Amino acid sequence: MSGRAQSRHYQIMKQYYVYILVCADGLTYTGITDNLARRFSEHQNGLNKTAFTYKRRPVQLIFQQEFNDVLQAIYFEKKIKKWSAKKKLALAEGNLNLLQILSECRNASHYKYKPKHE
C-alpha cells in the first residue's frame, strides 16, 4: 500500500467519540475526542485550569458514542450540547421513551398537549 493510500486507510479507520460527563455539582459536560481514555483522564486530573470541568471534579463518564466519521461525530456533539441535562441523562440511561417525550416540541403553536380553547 502506498503512503497516500495507507494514510487514507488510517483516516477511514480512525475512531471518534462523543461523550457526556456528569460533574460533581450535577452539571453535564459534552465533548468529542479521538482518545476517550486520555481525554477522560485530562478532565479527571484537571490538566486545564480554565476547563469547564476543572472546578467540578470528580467527573463521571455516563455516555459515549463511537463514530468512524469525524463530521458525523461533530454534528452529533453539537446537537446534544444544546440539549437539557434531563435529555442528556435520558440518552445516557438508554431511556428512549423519556428521550422521545423530552424531544417533543413544546412551542404553544405546535404543542399537541396544549389546552383546547372553547
> pLDDT tens digits for 19-62?
999 999 999 999 999 999 999 999 999 999 999 999 999 999 99
- Between residues 43 and 111, the one the model is more confident about: 43
Answer whether CATH 3.30.230 is correct for domain 3-82.
no
Closest of 21, 91, 18 to residue 54, by C-alpha: 21
pLDDT band at 115 (very low <50, low <70, confident <90, very high): low
- Give whichever of 4-8, 21-25, 48-52, 107-111 has the largest mean pLDDT: 21-25
Q: Is pLDDT at 1 greater than 70 in this prediction?
A: no
Q: Residue 46: which region, alpha, beta or left (left: phi > 0; alpha: psi -120 to 50)? A: left
Beta carbons within 10 angstroms of residue 33's beta carbon: 19
- Structure confidence at residue 12 (pLDDT): 55
Instruction: Tell me the pTM.
Output: 0.78
- Structure confidence at residue 10 (pLDDT): 55
Say whether the peptide bond before residue 58 is cis (omega within 30 degrees of 0): yes
